[in-house]
């Protein structure tokens, strides 16, 4: 990948850790794998602190199966005995994406396929342009993007106050820069079918999310 060295874990005792591998059960796209015409995949996109998870919860409360892409990161950190913090999360994300910037979409595809057998799906945490194009290639018109937008000032204030994985304004700004420059995170936001501006209250956010749910059900 552009001559960059593969990221490694500089932790004492890391020799016990195995390299990351794709699950043997990863489902490859098969044109014969049919999705019922009324099943939809809705992906919530936006920058950190915009309110994506809150919107995803509204969809979940309306019978969408929720798949959080970031669970893959959490599972890998737990497997490696790493403390959940911004530095370790960044390192694991880089390791997982070493095989391609669509890695999270590929790793989560089996969960999506299973969920689609019985319900619509909402994805919380699609980041990169490659993840979007990978899923769009599989699901076509059944895939919808809902962007949640807040100003950097608003988002960074929220991230500084959240109960877990709190970020300083400097850390939040660094994360914004990394995601925009290295993951082309702005692409999926620009391609959104619906956009929610989240600059007021939680109640207004939930109300607007509910309106979009009603349009997609």
Tokens 């970020």 sit at which residue?
Answer: 167
37-50: pLDDT as tens digits: 568 999 999 999 99
Q: Cite the beta strand spans of 14-169 per DSSP E.
A: 41-45, 65-68, 121-124, 143-149
Of the ranges 53-62, 96-105, 116-125, 134-143, which one carries the lowest mean pLDDT score? 96-105
CA dist 43 and 144 (Å) reads 6
pTM over 0.85: no
Hey, what are 155's tokens? 């988002």
156-210: pLDDT as tens digits: 999 999 887 789 999 999 999 989 998 899 999 999 999 999 999 999 999 999 9
CA dist 204 and 214 (Å) reads 15
Mean pLDDT, the chain, as a whole number? 85
How big is the chain, counted in residues? 217
Domains along the sequence of the chain with CATH: 35-216 (3.40.50.300)
Residue 7: its pLDDT value, please?
54
97-111: pLDDT as tens digits: 887 889 999 999 999
């Amino acid at each position: 990948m552009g001559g960059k060295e593969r990221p490694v874990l500089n932790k004492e005792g890391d020799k016990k850790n195995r390299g990351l591998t794709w699950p043997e059960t990863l489902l490859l796209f098969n044109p014969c794998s049919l999705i019922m015409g009324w099943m939809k995949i809705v992906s919530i996109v936006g920058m950190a602190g915009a309110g994506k998870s809150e919107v995803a919860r509204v969809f979940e409360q309306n019978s969408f199966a929720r798949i959080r892409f970031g669970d893959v990161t959490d599972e890998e950190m737990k497997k490696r005995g790493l403390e959940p913090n911004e530095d370790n999360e960044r390192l694991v994300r880089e390791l997982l994406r070493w095989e391609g910037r669509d890695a999270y979409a590929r790793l989560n595809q089996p969960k999506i396929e299973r969920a689609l057998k019985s319900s619509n799906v909402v994805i919380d945490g699609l980041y990169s342009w490659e993840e979007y194009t990978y899923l769009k290639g599989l699901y076509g018109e059944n895939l919808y993007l809902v962007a949640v937008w807040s100003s950097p000032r608003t988002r960074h204030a929220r991230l500084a106050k959240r109960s877990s994985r709190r970020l300083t304004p400097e850390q939040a700004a660094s994360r914004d820069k990394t995601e925009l420059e290295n993951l082309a995170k702005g692409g999926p936001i620009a391609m959104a079918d619906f956009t929610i501006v989240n600059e007021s209250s939680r109640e207004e956010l939930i109300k607007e999310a509910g309106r979009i749910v009603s349009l997609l059900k």
